[in-house]
Protein backbone atom coordinates (compact mmCIF):
# COMPACT_ATOMS: atom_id res chain seq x y z
CA UNK A 1 0.00 0.00 0.00
CA UNK A 2 1.59 3.24 -1.21
CA UNK A 3 -0.56 5.49 0.96
CA UNK A 4 -2.04 7.21 -2.11
CA UNK A 5 -5.76 6.66 -2.59
CA UNK A 6 -7.80 7.11 -5.73
CA UNK A 7 -11.52 6.99 -6.32
CA UNK A 8 -13.40 5.58 -8.03
CA UNK A 9 -11.62 2.37 -8.94
CA UNK A 10 -13.67 1.86 -12.08
CA UNK A 11 -15.74 4.27 -14.13
CA UNK A 12 -17.87 3.51 -17.17
CA UNK A 13 -19.41 6.40 -19.04
CA UNK A 14 -20.59 7.43 -22.48
CA UNK A 15 -18.92 9.62 -25.08
CA UNK A 16 -19.49 13.31 -24.55
CA UNK A 17 -19.83 12.99 -20.79
CA UNK A 18 -17.74 14.54 -18.03
CA UNK A 19 -16.13 12.73 -15.10
CA UNK A 20 -14.06 13.64 -12.07
CA UNK A 21 -11.29 11.46 -10.68
CA UNK A 22 -10.11 12.02 -7.14
CA UNK A 23 -6.74 11.49 -5.50
CA UNK A 24 -5.53 11.80 -1.92
CA UNK A 25 -1.73 11.93 -1.63
CA UNK A 26 0.38 10.31 1.08
CA UNK A 27 0.25 12.15 4.35
CA UNK A 28 2.64 15.10 4.20
CA UNK A 29 3.33 14.93 0.46
CA UNK A 30 2.88 18.29 -1.25
CA UNK A 31 3.26 17.22 -4.88
CA UNK A 32 0.59 15.40 -6.84
CA UNK A 33 1.09 14.04 -10.36
CA UNK A 34 -1.46 12.67 -12.81
CA UNK A 35 -0.62 10.07 -15.45
CA UNK A 36 -2.59 8.36 -18.18
CA UNK A 37 -1.76 4.82 -19.24
CA UNK A 38 -3.27 3.27 -22.32
CA UNK A 39 -2.16 0.13 -24.14
CA UNK A 40 -0.65 1.91 -27.11
CA UNK A 41 0.82 4.99 -25.42
CA UNK A 42 2.42 3.68 -22.26
CA UNK A 43 2.56 5.83 -19.14
CA UNK A 44 2.06 9.49 -20.07
CA UNK A 45 2.57 12.37 -17.66
CA UNK A 46 -0.38 14.77 -17.65
CA UNK A 47 0.13 17.41 -14.96
CA UNK A 48 1.77 18.15 -11.62
CA UNK A 49 0.62 20.28 -8.70
CA UNK A 50 2.72 21.40 -5.78
CA UNK A 51 1.01 22.73 -2.67
CA UNK A 52 -2.01 23.91 -4.62
CA UNK A 53 -0.21 25.40 -7.60
CA UNK A 54 0.31 23.97 -11.05
CA UNK A 55 4.00 23.14 -11.43
CA UNK A 56 4.38 21.22 -14.69
CA UNK A 57 2.23 20.30 -17.63
CA UNK A 58 2.70 17.34 -19.91
CA UNK A 59 0.54 15.81 -22.62
CA UNK A 60 -2.73 16.99 -21.15
CA UNK A 61 -5.60 17.71 -23.52
CA UNK A 62 -7.53 20.98 -23.30
CA UNK A 63 -10.63 18.92 -22.46
CA UNK A 64 -8.86 17.82 -19.27
CA UNK A 65 -8.22 19.96 -16.23
CA UNK A 66 -7.00 19.40 -12.70
CA UNK A 67 -6.68 21.18 -9.41
CA UNK A 68 -5.20 20.63 -5.98
CA UNK A 69 -7.19 21.76 -2.98
CA UNK A 70 -5.97 23.28 0.33
CA UNK A 71 -6.14 19.86 2.00
CA UNK A 72 -3.79 18.67 -0.80
CA UNK A 73 -6.18 16.23 -2.42
CA UNK A 74 -6.45 16.59 -6.17
CA UNK A 75 -9.11 16.11 -8.80
CA UNK A 76 -8.73 15.43 -12.51
CA UNK A 77 -11.67 16.52 -14.61
CA UNK A 78 -12.19 14.92 -18.02
CA UNK A 79 -14.87 16.42 -20.27
CA UNK A 80 -16.34 15.78 -23.72
CA UNK A 81 -15.09 12.24 -23.37
CA UNK A 82 -14.06 10.27 -26.43
CA UNK A 83 -13.52 6.55 -26.92
CA UNK A 84 -9.78 7.18 -26.99
CA UNK A 85 -9.84 8.54 -23.45
CA UNK A 86 -10.41 5.02 -22.14
CA UNK A 87 -7.34 4.28 -20.04
CA UNK A 88 -5.95 3.81 -16.57
CA UNK A 89 -5.43 7.11 -14.78
CA UNK A 90 -2.86 7.13 -12.01
CA UNK A 91 -2.17 9.69 -9.38
CA UNK A 92 1.20 9.84 -7.65
CA UNK A 93 2.61 11.96 -4.86
CA UNK A 94 6.04 12.92 -3.64
CA UNK A 95 7.50 14.89 -0.78
CA UNK A 96 9.36 17.63 -2.63
CA UNK A 97 9.00 19.20 -6.04
CA UNK A 98 11.21 17.40 -8.50
CA UNK A 99 12.04 14.39 -6.36
CA UNK A 100 11.97 11.21 -8.41
CA UNK A 101 10.62 8.89 -5.73
CA UNK A 102 6.95 9.06 -6.56
CA UNK A 103 4.31 6.94 -4.85
CA UNK A 104 1.52 5.81 -7.13
CA UNK A 105 -2.08 5.12 -6.28
CA UNK A 106 -4.01 2.05 -7.49
CA UNK A 107 -5.46 3.94 -10.43
CA UNK A 108 -8.89 4.60 -11.89
CA UNK A 109 -9.88 2.55 -14.90
CA UNK A 110 -12.01 4.70 -17.20
CA UNK A 111 -14.04 3.06 -19.93
CA UNK A 112 -15.79 5.33 -22.43
CA UNK A 113 -18.50 3.58 -24.46
CA UNK B 1 11.90 15.66 -23.70
CA UNK B 2 14.34 13.22 -22.17
CA UNK B 3 14.30 9.76 -23.67
CA UNK B 4 15.28 6.32 -22.50
CA UNK B 5 15.96 3.12 -24.40
CA UNK B 6 15.30 -0.27 -22.86
CA UNK B 7 14.76 -3.75 -24.27
CA UNK B 8 11.06 -4.29 -24.89
CA UNK B 9 11.02 -7.67 -23.21
CA UNK B 10 13.18 -10.24 -21.43
CA UNK B 11 12.66 -13.81 -20.31
CA UNK B 12 14.39 -15.48 -17.39
CA UNK B 13 14.11 -18.71 -15.42
CA UNK B 14 13.37 -18.68 -11.73
CA UNK B 15 16.44 -18.39 -9.55
CA UNK B 16 18.56 -16.60 -12.15
CA UNK B 17 20.01 -13.13 -11.89
CA UNK B 18 18.45 -10.66 -14.31
CA UNK B 19 20.13 -7.50 -15.57
CA UNK B 20 18.06 -4.86 -17.37
CA UNK B 21 19.98 -2.02 -18.98
CA UNK B 22 18.60 1.40 -19.75
CA UNK B 23 20.19 4.00 -21.96
CA UNK B 24 19.58 7.65 -21.02
CA UNK B 25 22.01 9.63 -23.11
CA UNK B 26 20.79 13.11 -22.24
CA UNK B 27 20.28 12.78 -18.52
CA UNK B 28 20.86 16.04 -16.71
CA UNK B 29 24.01 16.41 -14.61
CA UNK B 30 22.19 16.69 -11.30
CA UNK B 31 19.43 14.16 -11.95
CA UNK B 32 19.16 10.87 -10.14
CA UNK B 33 18.54 7.58 -11.96
CA UNK B 34 15.41 5.83 -10.80
CA UNK B 35 13.79 2.48 -11.52
CA UNK B 36 10.15 1.51 -11.08
CA UNK B 37 8.29 -1.81 -11.23
CA UNK B 38 4.70 -2.18 -12.44
CA UNK B 39 2.40 -5.18 -12.17
CA UNK B 40 -0.65 -5.40 -14.48
CA UNK B 41 -3.43 -2.96 -13.57
CA UNK B 42 -1.42 -1.53 -10.66
CA UNK B 43 0.46 1.73 -10.27
CA UNK B 44 4.24 1.72 -10.73
CA UNK B 45 6.26 1.10 -7.58
CA UNK B 46 9.58 2.79 -6.83
CA UNK B 47 12.39 0.21 -6.59
CA UNK B 48 15.73 1.94 -6.37
CA UNK B 49 17.50 5.22 -7.05
CA UNK B 50 21.13 6.21 -7.52
CA UNK B 51 23.39 8.94 -8.78
CA UNK B 52 26.63 7.12 -9.60
CA UNK B 53 28.53 3.86 -9.05
CA UNK B 54 26.50 1.18 -7.27
CA UNK B 55 23.49 1.21 -5.00
CA UNK B 56 21.97 -1.85 -3.34
CA UNK B 57 18.81 -2.30 -1.33
CA UNK B 58 16.76 -5.27 -0.19
CA UNK B 59 15.14 -5.60 -3.63
CA UNK B 60 17.77 -4.85 -6.26
CA UNK B 61 21.13 -3.38 -7.19
CA UNK B 62 21.71 -0.47 -9.49
CA UNK B 63 24.94 -0.07 -11.44
CA UNK B 64 25.77 3.31 -12.97
CA UNK B 65 28.91 3.86 -15.07
CA UNK B 66 31.01 6.99 -14.69
CA UNK B 67 29.48 8.72 -17.73
CA UNK B 68 25.93 8.08 -16.38
CA UNK B 69 24.58 7.56 -19.88
CA UNK B 70 23.18 4.20 -18.93
CA UNK B 71 22.25 2.19 -15.89
CA UNK B 72 21.68 -1.49 -15.13
CA UNK B 73 19.07 -2.81 -12.75
CA UNK B 74 20.08 -6.16 -11.30
CA UNK B 75 17.51 -8.48 -9.75
CA UNK B 76 19.13 -11.38 -7.89
CA UNK B 77 17.52 -14.83 -8.03
CA UNK B 78 14.21 -13.80 -9.63
CA UNK B 79 10.97 -15.53 -8.76
CA UNK B 80 7.63 -15.72 -10.58
CA UNK B 81 6.45 -12.70 -8.58
CA UNK B 82 9.11 -10.55 -10.27
CA UNK B 83 7.21 -10.83 -13.56
CA UNK B 84 6.39 -7.19 -14.28
CA UNK B 85 7.29 -4.19 -16.40
CA UNK B 86 10.39 -2.27 -15.32
CA UNK B 87 10.88 1.41 -16.12
CA UNK B 88 13.85 3.77 -15.87
CA UNK B 89 12.20 7.19 -16.12
CA UNK B 90 14.28 10.31 -16.58
CA UNK B 91 13.63 13.97 -16.30
CA UNK B 92 14.23 16.43 -19.11
CA UNK B 93 16.62 19.30 -18.49
CA UNK B 94 14.88 22.00 -16.45
CA UNK B 95 11.74 19.89 -16.17
CA UNK B 96 9.96 18.44 -13.17
CA UNK B 97 8.25 15.69 -15.12
CA UNK B 98 9.45 12.12 -15.44
CA UNK B 99 9.27 10.47 -18.85
CA UNK B 100 8.56 6.77 -18.38
CA UNK B 101 8.82 5.25 -21.84
CA UNK B 102 7.48 1.79 -22.62
CA UNK B 103 9.58 -0.12 -20.09
CA UNK B 104 10.93 -3.68 -20.19
CA UNK B 105 8.49 -6.52 -19.74
CA UNK B 106 10.22 -9.22 -17.69
CA UNK B 107 8.70 -12.67 -17.80
CA UNK B 108 9.99 -15.19 -15.24
CA UNK B 109 9.56 -18.80 -16.31
CA UNK B 110 9.21 -21.65 -13.81
CA distances from A45 to A36, A42, A70, B16, B84 (A): 7, 10, 23, 34, 20
Q: Does A101 touch chain B (CB under 8 A)?
A: yes
Set of chain A residues whose Cβ sits within 8 Å of the Cβ of B49 = 100-101
Whether A101 sits inside 8 A of B99 (CB atoms) is no
- Rounded Cα distance, A22 and A27, in Å: 15
Set of chain B residues whose Cβ sits within 8 Å of the Cβ of A58 = 97
B39-55: pLDDT as tens digits: 988 999 999 999 888 99
Whether A56 sits inside 8 A of B95 (CB atoms) is yes
Q: Is the dihedral of CA B39, B44, B47, B48 positive or negative?
A: positive
Mean pLDDT lowest for which of A1-15, A73-87, B39-53?
B39-53
Whether A106 sits inside 8 A of B43 (CB atoms) is yes
CB atoms within 10 A of CB B103: 26
- Rounded Cα distance, A71 and A94, in Å: 15
pLDDT for res B26: 79
Percent share of chain A, pLDDT over 90: 81
pLDDT band for A15, please (50, 70, 90 cuts). very high
Report whether pLDDT(B96) > 80: no
Amino acid sequence: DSGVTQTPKHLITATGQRVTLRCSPRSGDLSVYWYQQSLDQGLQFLIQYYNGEERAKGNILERFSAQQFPDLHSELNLSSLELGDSALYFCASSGRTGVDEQYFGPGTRLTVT
Amino acid sequence: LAKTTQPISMDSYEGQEVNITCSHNNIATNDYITWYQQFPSQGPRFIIQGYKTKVTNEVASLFIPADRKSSTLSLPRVSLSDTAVYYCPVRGAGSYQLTFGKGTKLSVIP
